[in-house]
Amino acid sequence: MSAAVHPRAVLRAHREQALKTLRGEGRGQRLFAVLDSARDDAVLAWLEGSGATFASLYEGPQALEMAVAAPYLLEVPEGSELLDTLMFEGWGQSWGIFLRSQRSFLEVRRHLRKHLLVQVEGVKNPVYFRFYDPRVLRVFLPTCTPAQVEEFHGPIQTFYAEGEDGKLQRFVNTRG
């Protein structure tokens, strides 16, 4: 008779494996996270207390108006304990996504900003695209054509998202 495994133990194991992967991959590339402050009030407070480089993906008046519900780009320095803390606090909560790029913080931010609004067929005005929600990213990227993948990735080699089962999912731009 096998013992039942507690869901928290499974999530913890997936989180540990995700941490190992995020630490071990992408040598020579910077690690970033895009965190969704609309997902949890704790996200913005955590960012403000982290001491790390971060910025809203929104600009101008929109950034001020939507500060508590904005997506934020965070650079996670190699070897920093920020990754451990972020994973402990946010894994399993769909706080956001991770990505790797050789480009600077500003270049990555500029690229990601291009994808905040999208035109949807049959809708007059552009709509917000919440690609930084792991539940959205893991459904969106597998449906893309190779050209769409290349456009979406741009200077980003790999996107990482928390899977529905808590495992880390990896989306690599093999053409970039």
Q: Give residue-wise pLDDT tens across range 126-175.
A: 999 999 999 999 999 999 999 999 999 999 999 999 999 999 999 998 76
Question: Do residues 99 and 108 touch, judged by C-beta distance below 8 A?
Answer: yes
* Sequence-ordered list of residues with C-beta below 8 angstroms from that of 35, at least 6 positions apart, any chain: 43, 47, 54, 71, 72, 74, 86, 90, 95, 96, 132
> pLDDT tens, 19-33?
999 998 877 899 999
pLDDT given at position 108: 98
pLDDT over 50 at 1, yes or no: no
Please write the tens of the pLDDT for every residue from 64-112: 888 899 999 999 998 889 999 999 989 989 999 999 999 999 999 999 9
Report the pLDDT value the prediction gives residue 34, as an integer from 0 to 100. 98
What is the token pair recorded at 140? 């969106």
How far does CA 11 lie from the centroid of its chain?
18
* Whole-number pLDDT of residue 71: 97
For the CA atoms of 100, 102, 104, 106, the dihedral, rounded to the nearest 10 degrees, stands at -50
How is the chain split into domains, by residue range?
7-172
Q: How confident is the model at residue 61 (pLDDT cuts 50, 70, 90)?
A: confident
CA-nearest of 8, 158, 30, 159 to 93 is 8
* Helix, strand, coil tally for the chain in percent (to 5): 40, 20, 35
Separation between Cα atoms, residue 152 and residue 117, nearest integer Å: 13
The DSSP result for 121-144, as a single string, is: TT-SS-EE--TTSHHHHHHHGGGS
For position 24, what pLDDT does the model report? 87
